[in-house]
């Protein structure tokens, strides 16, 4: 039996510290159109068993927390439901819906519909997407205008409110103003990919956050190797924080879990060596 992955608690809910990312089964590679198309052909347009296999591999280790924009990826939601049936294991959904944040009755009604959709899809946590929340930021005042309107909608629908943060200021403003936010996701990786300020500053913000932080883009969308990216993330976050990892197939899941467990246990991971046309080289170490 696989070792269960360590857990943390957010708003009295137990979550796996490794969170299942969904970009690499959704078609958002953050790389090239060709990479996006490969993902879509493998998952969205391919055999549904590809996505199922990924989720089943995570579930073997008790990794049951999954983040995504599920309204745009029905095949992921279908795969979650199939995996629940097959394995008998549940998943905790963190939905990151895009909502209309215009300040008028029609827009608020549309925002509520998006939030209700999250609840209908089975989300436990609802994080308004960063592209929506950032429209509400007032840097002069250090506020996120009207965010309480949307967190109340989330609470009224029986979900737990969080913030999707590409701007690291969102964590600072939320904490300073005491908004009803239980957790955040935040871009954080060893390459500074998509981070709006230097790595050290974001690390400081994470370490001083009043709530647990779910770090995302841990391998800079494939720009660094899992060994480097995951070791950096696990070594530089708090015990309450989490790392989000998306994988293309089950083999990648097993590698990333082993690298993560090894990082947490301060040992070298038990993974195979990379392949080369000439494998017997001293630079590769003992064969």
Q: How far apart are CA 158 and CA 11, in angstroms?
A: 13
| Torsions phi, psi for 184 (to 5 deg) | -135, 155
Q: What is the pLDDT of residue 49?
A: 81
Domain ranges (residues) in the chain: 7-284
Strand 18-21 and strand 242-246: the pairing is parallel
Q: Which two tokens stand for residue 230?
A: 């995951």
CB 220 within 8 A of CB 250: no
Q: What is the pLDDT of residue 26?
A: 87
Q: Which residue has the tokens 């007032």?
A: 138
Q: CA triplet 189, 193, 196: central angle to 5 degrees?
A: 100
- Write down the CATH superfamily of domain 7-284: NADP-dependent oxidoreductase domain (3.20.20.100)
Nearest CA to 185 among 19, 25, 5, 24? Answer: 19
Q: What is the pLDDT of residue 286?
A: 63
Residue range 230-279, pLDDT digits in tens: 999 999 999 999 999 999 999 999 999 999 999 999 999 998 877 767 66
Residue 34: exposure state from Cβ atoms within 10 A (0-12, 13-18, ≥19): exposed
CB 125 within 8 A of CB 160: yes
Q: What is the largest CA-CA distance in the chain?
A: 69
Host H or E run for residue 137: strand 137-138
What is the full per-residue pLDDT of the chain (287 aa) written as tens digits? 578 999 999 999 999 999 999 998 888 889 999 998 888 888 887 777 889 999 999 999 999 999 999 999 999 999 999 999 999 999 999 999 999 999 999 999 999 999 999 999 999 999 999 999 999 999 999 999 999 999 999 999 999 999 998 999 999 999 999 999 999 999 999 999 999 999 999 999 999 999 999 999 999 999 999 999 999 999 999 999 999 999 999 999 999 999 999 999 999 999 887 776 766 766 666 65
Q: How far apart are CA 34 and CA 209, in angstroms?
A: 38
Answer positive or negative: Cα dihedral of 176, 182, 188, 193: negative
Q: How far apart are CA 244 and CA 266, in angstroms?
A: 20
Q: What is the pLDDT of residue 130?
A: 93
Q: Which residue has the tokens 């500053």?
A: 201
- Based on C-alpha coordinates, what's the Rg of the chain? 19
Q: What is the pLDDT of residue 281?
A: 67
- With a threshold of 0.85, does the pTM exceed it? yes
First CA to last CA distance, the chain: 29
Residue count of the chain: 287
Q: How far apart are CA 259 and CA 68, in angstroms?
A: 23
Nearest CA to 214 among 191, 246, 262, 257? Answer: 246
Q: How far apart are CA 20 and CA 245, in angstroms?
A: 5
Host H or E run for residue 7: strand 7-10
Q: Which two tokens stand for residue 248?
A: 């293309």
């Amino acid at each position: 039996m696989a070792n269960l992955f360590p857990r943390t608690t957010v708003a009295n809910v137990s979550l796996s510290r490794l969170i299942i990312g969904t970009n690499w089964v959704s078609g958002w590679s953050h790389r090239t159109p060709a990479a996006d198309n490969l993902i879509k052909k493998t998952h969205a347009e391919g055999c549904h068993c590809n996505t199922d296999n990924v989720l089943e591999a995570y579930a073997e280790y008790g990794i049951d927390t999954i983040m995504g924009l599920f309204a745009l990826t029905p095949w992921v939601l279908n795969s979650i439901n199939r995996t629940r049936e097959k394995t008998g294991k549940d998943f905790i959904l963190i939905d990151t819906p895009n909502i209309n944040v215009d300040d008028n009755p029609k827009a608020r009604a549309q925002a509520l519909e998006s939030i209700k959709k999250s609840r209908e899809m089975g989300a436990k946590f609802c994080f308004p997407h960063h592209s929506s929340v950032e429209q509400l930021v007032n840097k002069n005042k250090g506020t996120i205008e009207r965010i309480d309107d949307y967190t109340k909608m989330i609470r009224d629908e029986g979900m737990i409110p969080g913030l999707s943060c590409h701007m690291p200021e969102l964590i600072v403003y939320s904490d300073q103003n005491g908004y009803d936010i239980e957790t955040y996701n935040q871009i954080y990786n060893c390459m500074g990919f998509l981070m709006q300020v230097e790595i050290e500053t974001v690390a400081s913000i994470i370490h001083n956050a009043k709530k647990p932080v779910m770090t995302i883009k841990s391998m800079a969308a494939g720009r660094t190797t899992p060994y480097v990216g995951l070791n950096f993330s696990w070594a530089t976050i708090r015990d309450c924080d989490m790392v989000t990892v998306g994988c293309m197939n089950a083999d990648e899941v097993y590698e990333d879990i082993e690298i993560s467990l090894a990082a947490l246990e301060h040992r070298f991971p038990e993974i195979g060596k990379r392949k080369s046309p000439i494998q017997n080289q001293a630079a590769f170490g003992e064969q």
